[in-house]
Structure 1
């Protein structure tokens, strides 16, 4: 019986050494492994193939039969490396985003927008205020202070 796996290219596969964020690694793993009908055994073996160094050693030593499902393996994996998880982003972190000297307004707007997507803030007025506070002084910042849009989408236009 042929046991070839219908997976995507592994040329640039993700690797986990034990110092990375386990949740981010599992997300990257799921994104890369396009296994529409993979079994738990296949998923577990494929996840094992992404581990390296101490991370691999710690899971190789797990007794046979201890892990039965991929969900169980992923849970154990996340718990094992819980300390490595990235701290949750808090919406006031957007006040830390500042325009660099020499950075164009478009570059700053794009960088700020990426952070906003990551933060998922719910207060539009606070986003506008954070963006305005992070901008370098100039004609656009003066315009924003005068006409102060209520929505971040108003800045993007």
Structure 2
């Protein structure tokens, strides 16, 4: 029999079963043989569980595997999702090459990973201000395009490092340069540096400054007037398409209703404590179960916006699944017109929009 690692009840059982079945199929053995051979790979608690089975209680290897999985379900490897990929960030001192390799290892563990979701997660995880600014100037058209640009950036960075191309500065300016480099690595420094780059006058180049959002009668196409309709859209929240999302300029918080929270399969353990209260339309106090941070996309790739957004989870009756309040709209750089039933937002390639659905 081919060599196979033992299973003791603590490692990934599903992976162990798949490996065993693959090896058995290669050798063309029968189902009866697999039922007799598999117990030889069990040790410890798994062996004790097998020994406690009544004689004749296993009729097929599939049934054998199902009973094992049910008994040792908690030992299985936690399946990765887009939400877990969004937590992969470039560490301080970690090179871009090292980060990309670690990011790819995590991405490979997510089944049916959407390329646009992977692209957004990668951009959010990179610390390099220079690289992120290059992406802002010209947004990637696809994940393959982004990876190609990352590889070129890594090659250029390694070449400069190998050649030791450090700008010559006198002692008086050396401290200033060092402070600027340190500033770029902090969050406030990144924001200040981004503002500095966007306002700089580059000779021979004209920066795109036309980012004015406006609405006109053209935006009324398909809208039945007069109306008093609310603005309801759909977005990608975490890795799920969430419908009945109310865009509410009057809400001071982003709300995720508890029934939607449960349907999305988000573990209760991800809820963070929220000590304050919300007030309803009639001034009544609405209790909050907690807050949760989720990745959110609006628009269609590559012309979309992304943000890690905090939602307050509320137990209350509502026809909507979630509310996008002022904090969320500001984070997405979005402007809403209830009259035109449309929300417009800024992307590196210009103004994009979503309509009421």
- Tell me, yes or no, if structure 1 residue 83 matches structure 2 residue 89: no
Match of 2:48 among 57, 60, 68: 57
Task: Please state how far the C-alpha of 1:23 moved relative to its aligned partner.
Answer: 1.2
User: Is the deviation greater in 62-71 or in 84-93?
Assistant: 84-93
Aligned partner of residue 109 in structure 2, secondary structure: helix
The structure-2 alpha-carbon separation of the partners of 1:54 and 1:111, relative to structure 1 and needing over 3 Å to count, comes to same
- C-alpha distance in 1, partners of 2:92/2:50? 47
- Aligned partners of 2:79, 2:54: CA distance in 1, in Å? 33
Q: Name the structure 2 match of 1:21.
A: 12
SS in 2 for 1:129: helix
The reply to whether residue 142 of structure 1 matches residue 160 of structure 2 is no
| Count of paired positions | 148
Are positions 1:118 and 2:109 aligned together? yes
CA contact (8 A) 1:91 1:121 kept: no
- In structure 2, the partner of 1:45 is 36
Q: 1:3 maps to what in 2?
A: none
TM-score (norm 2): 0.38
2:60 is aligned to: 69
- Where does the alignment leave 5 or more consecutive residues of structure 1 unmatched? 1-6
Whether the 8 Å CA contact 2:107–2:113 is kept in 1: the answer is no
Structure 1 residue aligned with 2:184: none
When residues 81 and 108 of structure 1 are mapped into structure 2, their CA distance, relative to the original with a 3 A threshold, is same
CA distance in 2, matches of 1:147, 1:121: 27
Worse-superposed segment, 73-82 or 36-45 = 36-45
CA distance in 2, matches of 1:111, 1:34: 33
Q: Show structure 2 runs of 5+ residues with no match.
A: 149-357
Tell me which of the two structures has the higher relative contact order, counting C-alpha pairs closer than 8 angstroms and 6 or more residues apart. 1
Cα distance in 1, alignment partners of residues 119 and 56 from structure 2: 54
RMSD, aligned α-carbons: 2.1
TM, length-normalised to structure 1? 0.81
Asked whether 1:94 is paired with 2:85, we answer yes
* C-alpha distance in 2 between matches for 1:121 and 1:42: 34
Which has the larger Rg? 2
SS in 2 for 1:126: helix
Q: Indicate yes or no: 2:112 matched with 1:131.
A: no
Distance in 2 (alpha carbons) for counterparts of 1:121 and 1:146 = 30
Q: Counterpart of 1:130 in 2: which secondary structure? A: helix
* Residue 33 of structure 1, CA deviation: 4.2
* Greater strand content: 2
Contact 1:124 1:150 in 2 (8 A): no
In the TM superposition, residue 134 of structure 1 has moved relative to its aligned partner by: 0.6
